[in-house]
Amino acid sequence: MASSSHLLCVGLLFLHMNVQAVECASTLGNATDRMALLSIKEITSDPHGALSSWNDSLHFCMGPGVVCRSGDQSVMILDLSSLDLEGSISPYIGNLSFLRRIEFQENSFHGEIPRGIGSLFYLQYLNLGFNSFQGNDFKALVFEYMPNGNLNKWLHLEEDGQNHLQNLSFTQRLNIAIEVASAVEYLHHHCQMPIVYCDLKPSNILLDNGMIAHVGVYWICSPEYGLGGQISTRGDVYSYGILLLEKFTGRRPTDDLFKDGLNLHEFAKMALSTQLGEIVHDPRLLLVEVSTDLINTNGN
């Protein structure tokens, strides 16, 4: 039994089996997702013909209840709510690797809830209410839904550019920094045993409806810990510092700019006190604050 002085690194490693994407020679797009949807369509009863258009003659992203992301055309949302559908849910739903939202409520689905749903790494919302599921209990960790997602999508554009209109003011970034610091300080000094977070980064900082930051309660430990790196609260402190630099410069630690010995830490250090304005890579930070100042000035 480890003594109370030992530091505890908490981490839940998610083993997510990704199905290799198969490129379709026709215009049907992501063949893996298309086949999964066709499998889900094979239910006992579809009295209103809601899924009749899920076939080879129509691109699956154009089917009712289906929302895909641009680019690779992976299914992100599957909404089959209130369609009087009857039958069991195909286990192949677990092949929709990028699924973020499932709404199957108010139907007559029965049988067991497919275990594959539990392996959907990006799933954020699940509603299976008002159905007739039975069999083995479906086990899952359920957390409060964070409607504003994670900090990473507010700091950086996603590959599909869907969050290009989101802005964080200087004040919001400062408040988030304070809230994250408070959470880390609690883990280090106010638990029965000190807890080392091990993987503090923007994608693990969740934002609720009021833009209040929450440190995710499950994560993957950084690889260096598994390779013999010493577990220490100092690692979290260093990660927090890098998080601050990333938040206020708008640059990722993995930015193409950082090579030949240059990193985000050294980049900010070189500009300290004389060139701070030049290292701010995110123009939204400056524009929002200037706009706020102008509004206040005009109001006075």
Q: Which residues are catalytic?
A: 199
30 HSE (CA, 13 A, CB side): 22
Reported residue count of the chain is 300
CA 207 – CA 150 distance, rounded (Å): 6
CA 216 – CA 237 distance, rounded (Å): 17
Q: For the chain, first and last CA: distance in Å?
A: 65
CA 113 – CA 134 distance, rounded (Å): 8
> DSSP secondary structure string, 267-300?
HHHHTTTTSGGGG---HHHHHHHHHHHHHHHHH-
Amino acid at 259: K
The answer to whether 81 touches 64, Cβ cutoff 8 Å, is no
Tell me, what DSSP letter sits at residue 259? -
> DSSP secondary structure string, 53-108?
T-STTS-GGGSTTEEE-TTT--EEEEE-TTS--EEPPPGGGGG-TT--EEE--SSE
